[in-house]
Chain A
Amino acid sequence: METGKSNVNFTEKPTLDRDAVKDIYETYYKKVYNYIGYRINNKSDIEELLSSVFEKVIFKYYTYRHDVSSSEAWIIGIAKNTVIDYYRAIKRHTFVPIDTMYELISDIRQPEEAAVINESNAELIKALDVLKDRERNVVSMKFATDLKNCEIAKIIGISESNVGTIVNRSMKKLRKELERKV
Chain B
Amino acid sequence: MGNNAELNDLIERYKKIDLSAENENKEKILERLLLQFENAEDNSKDRLITKKAIKPIYALVAVLSLLLAFSAVVYGQDAIRFVREMFIGDHAYFSSEIDRGAVDYNIPEEFAGKVFDKEGNQLDEYPHDFEDYIELYNEAGEKIVPYQDKSGDVLLTEEELKQKTQERRKNMTTAFETLEEAEVYFISDEYMMPAYLPKGYEFARAEIYNNDNGVPETNTKYMDIYYSNGIAKIDMSLRFMDEETAFEFGGLGELTELDINGYSAVKIGNSMLSVEIDGIMYTFNRNDDADVSTEDLVSMDEIILMAESLTLRK
A-to-B contact residues, CB < 8 Å? 16, 18, 21-22, 25-26, 29-30, 33-34, 37-38, 42-52, 54-56, 58-60, 63, 78, 81, 85-86, 88-90, 92-104, 107-111, 115-118, 121, 124-125, 134, 137-139, 142-143, 156-158, 162, 167-168, 171-172, 174-175, 178
Contacts and interface: CB of A to CB of B under 8 A. Distances in A.
A60 B48 CA distance: 7
B29 A47 contact: yes
A16 B47 CA distance: 13
B64 interface: yes
Interface in B243-274: 243-247, 249, 251, 272
A138 B29 CA distance: 26
A102 B65 contact: no
B17 A125 contact: yes
A92 B145 contact: no
Contact of B150 (A29, A43, A108, A167): A108
A95 B34 contact: no
Contacts of B29: 25, 47, 50-51, 54
A57 B298 CA distance: 40
Contact of B285 (A52, A92, A108): A92
B161 A96 contact: yes
Contacts of B65: 93-95
A93 B249 contact: yes
B169 A175 contact: no
B76 to A, nearest CB: 12
A105 to B, nearest CB: 8
A178 B285 CA distance: 44
A116 B145 contact: no
Which of the listed residues B30, B57, B165, B211 has the most CB atoms from chain A within 10 Å of its own CB? Answer: B57
A175 B56 contact: no
Contacts of A103: 149, 165, 168
Contacts, number: 190
16 contacts: A21-B37, A25-B30, A30-B18, A30-B20, A46-B19, A51-B29, A55-B33, A63-B243, A85-B57, A85-B247, A92-B283, A97-B290, A99-B172, A108-B149, A109-B150, A125-B17
Nearest to B219: A157
Contacts of B30: 22, 25-26, 29
Given A34-B17, A89-B61, A95 B26 contact: no
Which of the listed residues A54, A94, A121 has the most CB atoms from chain B within 10 Å of its own CB? Answer: A94
Contact of B11 (A51, A98, A116, A143): A143
A1 B30 CA distance: 14
B176 interface: no
Contact of A158 (B14, B59, B164, B213): B213
B310 interface: no
A43 B11 CA distance: 23
B42 to A, nearest CB: 11
A16 B48 CA distance: 15
B213 A90 contact: no
A97 B57 CA distance: 15
